[in-house]
Amino acid sequence: MHVTGTVPPPAPAPTEAHEVPAEGTHSTAGKHARRFGLPVATALVMGNIIGGGIFLLPASIAPYGWVSLIAFAVLTVGAVALALVFGRLAARDPRTGGPYVYTREAFGDFAGFLAAWAYWITTWVSNAALAVAAVGYLDVLIPVDDHKWTACLAALALQWLPALANFAGTRYVGAVQLVSTVLKFVPLLLVAVGGLFFFDPSRLGPFNSSGHSAVGAVSASAALLLFSYLGVESAAVSAGEVRNARRNVGRATVIGTAGAALVYLLGTLSVFGTVAHKRLVASTAPFSDAVNTMFGGSWGGTAVALAALVSMTGCLNGWTLLSAQTPYAAARDGLFPAAFARRRRGVPTVGVGVTVVLSSLLTAYNYLSGSAKVFDVLVLVTTFTATVPYLLATAAQLFHLVSGRSVDRGRLVRDSVITAVAAAFSLWLMAGAGYAAVYQGVLFLFAGVLVHAVMAARRQRKPADTAEAGSRTR
């Protein structure tokens, strides 16, 4: 039963027409808009997953002990399951919007709006968190972290530069994403592979230093680590910009997630084994510290810091595009304000502008409020808000499997197991986010209910106003 009270008829299986939106998105965008192939779609997934999270999270999870490495392994299984679910959903309905499109098609307007709203919150809060993480590495190159205002201004600049690249068009977004993804692998592979030769078990510290049970420590550290896997849905959200989306979205999602997982596990293990535990807990640039420990001096750490900044800027570039895609899809359906549906050069510019303003305000607030763990606070909020669209999209896949709509009978058992793992994974992460994050996340989420009420009322008024105007003319 649909919450909105209007039950749309069952949607037919999507046709290839969905791959090029009817409104002529690309025809009006000119030479600055370009559809992504498999390499760029994979780079978008890997670039958005491997962004600021991996460069700072080894220090964030160090207080839990190396039990958090178990959380990383469990999280990887869940992330791959989620990637496979998104791949199946995108093959069924390859339109821009990702979780929003799948949820609305299965459950109606209200559920679709909640998915879009929660995902939108996730993107701009994530941008703020990424910028804060980037400042830690910028501080290795230029001292900015000693003064609150200087650090805040640096974080704001790091958010606005990718926004300007997005305003230039999807052609430039794809180019920046591909280059930054290639460049970021240099320091990551250096630490992930090279660090194993310098690995010292005595530097790992205690197995569980959280003060809680091992299960509690795994859940708590996993809530922080989820931020590292945000972006698994990137190709699905931008499916309308991907060539041959039915085939390439699923492939890009699985390849990108698996590649990121391998780099994550090796990189985090190497950092834990090269940087002493006490030093790692207080570190603001753990990968730089790892390289300095491996080779001595500070030149290696400086080079890693520079590469990390390139990586994070590229990640912000991709996340800025994603932040506008879901509101764009929802605005086309009348669930978000119409301004979010405006596009220029292939990019929903209003969505980009609103998102960067909101993330900038959140960044300034967290710096000026004096929070000692700005990054951790922001990460935990995104953990909760991200699980809402993830869980709703997984529920949509479950709905299709149980109802038998457009289901491949030969893959039914396998798809059912994968969907169950993805659902359990999403619920576990929501529980692990903690009371404070759930409290703040619910406030963000429920504020959207008021927006939905206004938008729903406006949609109902339009037919009535049209009918009234028609009756006056007769």
Tokens coding 371 = 């929070």
Q: For residue 242, is pLDDT > 90?
A: no
Averaged pLDDT, 180-203: 79
Span 193-230, pLDDT tens digits: 888 888 888 888 888 887 778 888 887 787 777 667 77
Q: Residue 84: how many CB atoms within 10 A of its CB? A: 21
Instruction: Give the helix/strand (H/E) hosting 348.
Output: none
SS3 242: strand
Listed residue (262, 218, 208, 237) closest to 76, CA to CA? 262
SS3 266: helix
Q: Tell me, what amino acid is at 453?
A: A
Q: For residue 394, is pLDDT > 90?
A: yes
Q: How confident is the model at residue 464 (pLDDT cuts 50, 70, 90)?
A: low
Please give the Cα distance from 444 to 449 (Å, whole number): 10
Q: For residue 10, is pLDDT > 70?
A: no
Span 275-312, pLDDT tens digits: 888 888 888 778 888 888 888 767 777 777 787 787 77
Span 305-314, pLDDT tens digits: 787 787 777 7
Q: Who wins on pLDDT, 188 or 193?
A: 193
- Position 206 scores a pLDDT of 84
In terms of average pLDDT, the best of 35-49, 131-145, 199-213, 267-281 is 267-281
For residues 322 and 127, is the Cβ–Cβ distance under 8 A? no
Q: Tell me, what amino acid is at 70?
A: I
- Position 13 scores a pLDDT of 38
- Flag whether the pTM goes above 0.85: no
